Structure 1
């Protein structure tokens, strides 16, 4: 009886089997026993190995795409595979095909000299070079970008890649082409701009989206300014854990702070209705500092939070007295005007809390004579400056205020004496 011959697997399959066997012998818990130097060395080696495996994967994807003959179908096949989704699968196909125009980049990735993100930037750039570029120019371009990738972070590499084609154009042509490319890029960015918000019903909302580059930089700049560690402007509870906050936590709280600062009087109206939040609260609850307030959307907030916001934000409080119609409606004129703020800042020079050095630009205008529930006015004599942290404390701890004979505002905290900030003295 003749034994049936079984074809031997291709060498490439044998190599994959060997990789599997090696990984089986690498327990993930073993890294904890290494010293920090060896741990860092291990991380770097694993990242390079990951890049080398990525090169093999991309080459396999390109071969699969050539066999199927349909890039969309290739993406769908990959999306049904291990741990992928449609967007990531199609991105992989695009990168794999672009690498066919960048052989040196693929070799560098396979050797572990480039990360996959770097290789994707270079390959995409090479695929988009003008048709008139000669083979020698293409070679110089690719060699330059590979060298740049080893020196610069990925953000700088992307910027250099955008302008690499200018080397093959006349200066005047390069400027025109860049302007046109930026215009098209901005148009596409606007088309992709989106935002979403979801109420998680636990007192928080989730949000996300996509912004054009300009507006993303503007938003990040504003949040970084608010989230700076030296800006201890949050609530007393948040101040205590300020040093332990992660960067995302800082940015999240900065974003909430930015929303509170939105100039609602500058926003467009909807059917003649201003873009303000209406808040309902019972008169007795407001005066007794108990109970809760209700937004027109049904969301509940504490009476203390409402009193704090009412000092300086464009909310429209409706005070009720057991009837469905409001007993009183606060007005947007409760907000101090820019001219009034300048006058108050000229007197106070910053937060009036003793020992606080917050300048006027970091402060909020506070109605010190009375709160709006008891008929506070919005004039210069009724206004004073408090930084956000001390503004919270003034409401939470029921600080007392008075105007001294020389016109400056003094503070008395609970179980304390009258004090003032002495920044005004020579």
Structure 2
């Protein structure tokens, strides 16, 4: 067994997003290796200790160390990017602890795991140990010509984010140093892999940061009724572009035979409800708001089609959940969605103009309504596709990565 130190700021067996990603990657890594993990104290220690009481067998190869991240909520409200000041300070504390732990454990490999965003790579690359960094994300640029479709606030926010992203990916020296020092880089998407090659001249391996967090019962793949149920789920923020989905629904020639389920809530909820009322389609929409995970899964499983209209994500767990529940997916040909959704299980929409997107989304929805046999075929393939992204598959890839490092001559000197 290899002795591996994992830097995972976010790690929880009970949460989704970054904490769930951290936990599941660590579980995969610890199947065949002795793993020491450094994570944040206040947010995640209670969850991890609770899980250890419930399932002690999961911790046979796991040891956790905790460091508190100091932060100031008042400053963050005034200046949200101040998060990175305190996160950088936390990473410096991780480096200090890692140096001490290495004297005790003599690690074979160090894995800089999360947060996934490229902006803060930590300081463990300074240790004289083989380093794996990733999955790396955050290099995505929201399509410039579609920023106006996000509204004034969304256009300003994501426009500024694009500019900051472009500056940071080209000029953050510590990011480039970490990339060049790393023995292996892991990209969250093919797009990130291509950018890393252009920016830093390094090859990387694609492993999506998301995976199925739980197994659902195999879908029945039954034919739909006379009404096709279409689901959309996520935060109602400008980058999620729920407004484009609603406008597309209004253009469907089968609107009378559609039932729309929208899960989630956010700053754009009222605006989107207003758009639906203006388009006279609000009677076709069921607004579920934020609901418990089990209830959301039940709603999605009872639908026939799933749509994702995000212009800012790397990928999303809900995409894999929808596929695993046997729903074909309509999404944009962007970011990680482009990697996971293929012609076997869904339809990818190009993102040229707002008018084109709305028209193509409407046409894709109509296609599935008018071709039920194809919808059923893609539903079966969706389930198969989701299972290609389970954590056992990631475990095999990670083991290959670690063993490739172990077998390099410089490691055996």
- What is the TM-score when the length of structure 2 is the normalising length? 0.23
The structure with higher relative contact order (CA 8 Å, sep 6+) is 2
Larger Rg: 1
Q: Which structure's residues are more often strand, by fraction? A: 2
